[in-house]
A and B are shown apart, each in its own frame.
Chain A
Amino acid sequence: MADLVFIVLAIGLFALSELYVRACARLTGTARAPVDAANGERS
């Protein structure tokens, strides 16, 4: 039972980090619309 609690807590904290990625992308306006998709790959 204690294992389950800590595993869920850890997954929850990492999920929070993932939500943080989305929030920061929205704040910086980088969530969508690549500037220039053509130069997004290495040649």
Chain B
Amino acid sequence: MGLQGWLQFALVAGLFVVLTPLLGGYMARVYADERAPGERVFAPVERAIYRLCGIDPTREQRWTTYGLSFIAFSLFSWVVLYGLQRLQGLLPLNPTGMPAVPPDLSFNTAMSFVSNTNWQNYAGEATLSHLTQMAGLTVQNFASAAAGMSVLAAFIRGLARTRRDTIGNFWVDLVRTTTRILLPLSAAVALVVVSQGVIQNLDGFTPVTTLEGGRQTLPGGPVASQVAIKQLGTNGGGFFGANSAVPYENPTPFANLVEVWAIGVIPFALTATFGRMVGSRRQGWVLFAVTFVLWAGSAVAAMGFETQGNPRLTALGVDQAASAQQAGGNMEGKEVRFGPAASALWAATTTGTANGSVNAMHDSFAPLGGGVATLNMLLGEVSPGGVGVGLMGLLVLAILAVFLAGLMVGRTPEYLGKKIEPGEMKVVTLYILAVPLAVLVLTAIAVLLPSAIAQAANAPGPHGLTEILYGFASPANNNGSAFAGLASNTPWFNTTQGIAFVFGRWLLIVPALAVAGSLARKQPVPASAGTFPTDGVTFAVLLVAVTLILVGLTYFPVLSLGPIVEHLSL
């Protein structure tokens, strides 16, 4: 990897490190209901929303009520988004005359966006009206991200509180996350990307004559407002089918840099929010270190694989070295204005954060480059994962890590002074098993169905297996990025992926909230000589090891048959 690649990596990494305590501290104030900058602006707006919706902001909820509120909000969101797609042909703001979206695709898309996955079995510019994009998808980008961050806030309260039966109010958390965090940040990022050339209008298709005299049709639409939140909210769904590879979504290297930063800034900063809320910033930095090591390791690895070029082309004497005339490396499926290093940095960041937007086609990555993207998702989206739910997943793994450490030394495990007992471990087990069950079972069924195999461009073969595996790993981990080799807009894939979204969202959040509700009731025990410290390097190493080994044991066989064997056959 050349100097340019290292500089890009260092700049993005540096921004994450510097901004984590600043943004994290602000978010901790938001969730602790403390006065924060902008109080005079936000408080009246929030009071009006509470009055309009009949919310009593002073009333807290037990975890069961919190969880049911979250599920009810998701169901309501799904119904609205499904209805918008099915009725868009009859509704306004449809300058391109898009007809109703088919039922199976509407089901998949609604479940995808409500679960913060944003897997897309369609090209937006050829399928959706502006109304569906704005009132449906963009609204869900805010709502699903805010819901995920709310759940994390509740989870942290569960760890931090003592002998309490409540973990916050879902509706208050949802509103405050949207008004105080997501809306201001999105407005700022939208203005920056507009300055770079991202479009923001309500136009339909505009026919133009090219310099050579040819005819071309240019799409329009409210793109910048959707791009900003799709990155900040780790949603990832593109306005256009080719996502952030399209110049109208991501026109310049600077816009690319801003968007990569926007993908990771909130998930990383939430580690500092955690530290502030549990009263130990050191605990937050330990989790930051774990997520940062996992992200940085995957980014450097992917950048290395993609800048090396294809060995088969090297054998044919093709010049793949970087020079003034070419970016060098593996340029298949990549944009010339970004090159392989920036494309791989984006790929590692988007798959490590459950974002899912792409600025290059992952199907064209080197086998191990695509393998890194797949592995990032299979890790359970904890490096640093989606907004809120990523850190929540890492905290569940932290509980598992202290449990394993407790087994080694023969003591009752504790985390933040709370004893981890059989009740919590049972639901942690449910959490750990849910996603592998969905990914592996659905992949196994797909490779047995000739109709499903026919949708993979490179099946049968190891690359075809990776395409199908990715087609379930991404939805089940709520990532949403596509490998690009799987034509999954079929009733079978639309339906099964729709079920996979449920496993990766609601069947993870519910047990996590149960752990939070259980721990909130407990009296902390004082630290003793037998307490395993969770604010040091040893715990960070153990947590990284648990994350990697857990994934290794679960997915190693299928990864061996996919990207690993493909790499060995090069």
Q: Are B423 and A27 in contact (CB under 8 A)?
A: yes
Nearest-neighbour CB distance to chain A for B471, whole angstroms, equals 19
Q: Which among A2, A9, A17, A42 has the highest number of chain B CB atoms within 10 Å?
A: A17
Interface size on B, residues (CB 8 A): 45
In Å, the complex CA distance between A7 and B484 comes to 28
Chain A residues whose CB sits within 8 angstroms of the CB of B102 once the complex forms: 2
In Å, the complex CA distance between A19 and B64 comes to 11
How many residue pairs at the A-B interface have CB separations less than 8 Å? 112
Q: Which of B60, B63, B68, B86 contacts A3 (CB 8 A)?
A: B86
Q: Are B82 and A10 in contact (CB under 8 A)?
A: yes
Given contacts A30-B517, A35-B164, contact A14 B78 (CB under 8 A): yes
> When each residue 18-36 of chain A gets 1 if its CB lies under 8 Å from chain B and 0 otherwise, what string results?
1011101101111100111
Q: Are A35 and B78 in contact (CB under 8 A)?
A: no
Chain B residues whose CB sits within 8 angstroms of the CB of A9 once the complex forms: 107, 495, 498
Q: Are A24 and B165 in contact (CB under 8 A)?
A: no
Q: Are B506 and A20 in contact (CB under 8 A)?
A: yes
Q: Are A41 and B511 in contact (CB under 8 A)?
A: no
Chain A residues whose CB sits within 8 angstroms of the CB of B506 once the complex forms: 13-14, 17, 20
In Å, the complex CA distance between A17 and B70 comes to 10
Q: Are A6 and B165 in contact (CB under 8 A)?
A: no
Chain A residues whose CB sits within 8 angstroms of the CB of B17 once the complex forms: none
Chain B residues whose CB sits within 8 angstroms of the CB of A24 once the complex forms: 427, 430, 510-511, 513-514
Chain A residues whose CB sits within 8 angstroms of the CB of B106 once the complex forms: 6
Chain A residues whose CB sits within 8 angstroms of the CB of B51 once the complex forms: none
> Does B545 make an interface contact (CB < 8 A)?
no
Q: Are B166 and A40 in contact (CB under 8 A)?
A: yes
> Does B232 make an interface contact (CB < 8 A)?
no
Nearest-neighbour CB distance to chain A for B71, whole angstroms, equals 5
Chain A binding surface, main DSSP class: helix
In Å, the complex CA distance between A31 and B518 comes to 10
Nearest-neighbour CB distance to chain A for B502, whole angstroms, equals 5
Q: Are B515 and A28 in contact (CB under 8 A)?
A: yes
Taking CB as reference atom, which chain A residue is nearest B76? A14
Nearest-neighbour CB distance to chain A for B70, whole angstroms, equals 9
Q: Are B427 and A28 in contact (CB under 8 A)?
A: yes
Q: Are B63 and A30 in contact (CB under 8 A)?
A: yes
In Å, the complex CA distance between A3 and B518 comes to 39
In Å, the complex CA distance between A9 and B106 comes to 13
Chain B residues whose CB sits within 8 angstroms of the CB of A29 once the complex forms: 423, 518
Q: Are B104 and A17 in contact (CB under 8 A)?
A: no
> When each residue 370-382 of chain B gets 1 if its CB lies under 8 Å from chain A and 0 otherwise, what string results?
0000000000000
> Does B14 make an interface contact (CB < 8 A)?
no
Q: Which among A21, A28, A35, A36 has the highest number of chain B CB atoms within 10 Å?
A: A28
Nearest-neighbour CB distance to chain B for A39, whole angstroms, equals 6
Q: Which of B110, B511, B515, B521 contacts A10 (CB 8 A)?
A: B110
Nearest-neighbour CB distance to chain B for A16, whole angstroms, equals 7
> When each residue 510-539 of chain B gets 1 if its CB lies under 8 Å from chain A and 0 otherwise, what string results?
110111011001000000000000000000
In Å, the complex CA distance between A40 and B68 comes to 18
Chain B residues whose CB sits within 8 angstroms of the CB of A20 once the complex forms: 506-507, 510-511
> When each residue 484-509 of chain B gets 1 if its CB lies under 8 Å from chain A and 0 otherwise, what string results?
00000000000100110010001100
A-B contact pairs, 8 of them (CB 8 A): A7-B82, A21-B68, A27-B426, A27-B514, A28-B517, A28-B518, A34-B62, A40-B166
A-B contacts besides A10-B82, A31-B64, 10 pairs, CB < 8 Å: A2-B103, A13-B506, A14-B78, A25-B64, A28-B423, A28-B515, A30-B62, A34-B165, A36-B164, A40-B165
